Amino acid sequence: MNEKTQIQDIDRSLYDFRFDEDEGDFLDNGITPEIISEISDEKNDPDWMREFRQRSLEIYRRTPMVKWGASIEGLDVDNIVTYIRPKTRMNTDWEDVPENIKETFERLGIPQAERESLAGVGAQYDSELVYHNVREEVAQSGVVYTDLESAMHDPKYAEIIKSHFMKLVPPTDHKFAALHGAVWSGGSFVYVPKNVRLDIPLQSYFRLNAKGAGQFEHTLIILEEGSYLHFIEGCSAPKYYEAGLHAGCVELYVGKGASLRYSTIENWSKNMYNLNTKRALVEEGGKIEWVSGSFGSHVSYLYPMSILNGENASAEFTGITFAGEGQDLDTGAKIVHNAPNTSSYMNTKSLSKSGGKSTFRSSVVVNQNAEGSKSSVNCESLMLDSISRSDTVPSIVVKTDKCDVGHEAKIGRISDEAIFYLTSRGLSEEEARALIVRGFADNVSKELPLEYAVEMNNLIGLEMHGSVG
């Protein structure tokens, strides 16, 4: 009972705290070849990576800004400090993590979560991995879970990283992919060998600190034939006065008959520009499942893409986006059916309130070689007031005849009858609305592990607070 009250009374400040900036030297604000070189020096990049970064910078400079979606006028990329190095180096033992950093994580509940059941923690504090630990049983199964930078130097993984890094999301993909290629820093590398099924989820919990910091972490996950993994990416960042940029990149390779579930609850502070690129390549009979909750950020562009590249490959996307005051969240998913008998299923919900704007944007492309494929998209939007906006912009491109593609979308409001019913049972109007919104979001919450579902419900509670009148 006591605990329940605590959850209900949870304070927004839990997600907004931060410590003073003392994490070491800033580089110059702008991005020049010299800065990129400095990053390479600092990280002791292998030659191919040095070249890769410089080439990406070139591409970045000549690539025009993206033309659709939310406005990113407030973002001055040249003034964003792209690289902040915390004073601590990699730690494998929790005891060695500096006190203030540790406290931050502790308030975010990471060690507890780990103690409870999580397999490993790769928590990124600003740009570097500060704490990293994989439980022994996970390591024994042959699963590699480490930070990408050190893996790159390990002869065991160097080649596989070189042959996969930004091959799925090339720097030419869009401007921020190019930026990412030039300045990426930190992130996770996961390798699951053939037929290994990891029953406990792996988790990476990273957050931004320090003013004006950009976060460019790179996640590379490779699943060999017949393997299974659930990876949870959670983000939470404190509040800043300057705009912050997050341009991470996630590349997922799902082998034959392998299955990957990738869950994210994103709660960046509400001045962040979240321009993340996520992509999965799925081979024959493989499966990718995305579970995605977008709550934070000032502006988001987020469309995880699944390329179904082998016969009978499948993709599922379950998402929720909650846009509140001052937020412009442009989210959705992309699916490419590129082999026969592939299937995709998309189910998304979005909410807009207090002047927030949410856009659901998707594309389903069924190529000519994808005969026998099936796709079903279902999106639902809820408007909580009349000063907000909710747009739905799906696209379907079909280049074959033998397929079955369906799409459904709805937009509406909370009915007065539902509110009346619940208030007649003793709930306050605010409670009633929060309850209905939680129910609306259950497509995502029921796909999440319990502790994350609880956190998401808390976030909804926070967002709904003061939503009446």
Strands 128-134 and 120-125: antiparallel
∠ CA 46-250-177, rounded to 5°: 70
| 33 or 326: CB nearest other proteins | 326
Sign of CA dihedral 150, 156, 159, 165: negative
Q: How far is CA 22 from CA 99, 125, 128, in A?
A: 13, 13, 14
Fill in the DSSP letter of residue 95. Answer: G
For residue 432, the SS3 value is helix
CB of 30 to other proteins, least distance (A): 28
CB of 167 to other proteins, least distance (A): 18
Cα separation, 113 vs 246, whole angstroms: 25
| 104 or 359: CB nearest other proteins | 359
Beta bridge partners of 402: none
CB of 387 to other proteins, least distance (A): 8
Cα separation, 285 vs 11, whole angstroms: 45
Cα separation, 158 vs 154, whole angstroms: 6
| 327 or 388: CB nearest other proteins | 388
CB of 3 to other proteins, least distance (A): 35
| 238 or 324: CB nearest other proteins | 324
Contact residues for other proteins, defined by CB under 8 A: 67-68, 334, 359, 361, 363, 365, 368, 371, 381, 383-386, 388-413
CB of 174 to other proteins, least distance (A): 10
| 196 or 370: CB nearest other proteins | 370
| 405 or 468: CB nearest other proteins | 405
Tokens of 417: 């009858």
CB of 303 to other proteins, least distance (A): 8
| 4 or 67: CB nearest other proteins | 67
Amino acid at 65: M
What φ, ψ does residue 337 adopt, rounded to 5°? -90, 110
The residues, any chain, with a CB within 8 Å of residue 62's CB and separated by 6 or more, are: none
CB of 454 to other proteins, least distance (A): 29
| 158 or 396: CB nearest other proteins | 396
What φ, ψ does residue 364 adopt, rounded to 5°? -120, 120
CB of 230 to other proteins, least distance (A): 28
| 398 or 427: CB nearest other proteins | 398
Strand locations in 268-402, DSSP E?
272-275, 277-282, 287-294, 299-302, 305-308, 314-323, 328-337, 343-352, 357-366, 373-383, 389-398
Crossing angle (nearest 10°) for helices 175-183 and 47-62? 150
Tokens of 144: 């590699």
CB of 359 to other proteins, least distance (A): 8
Tokens of 12: 């927004």
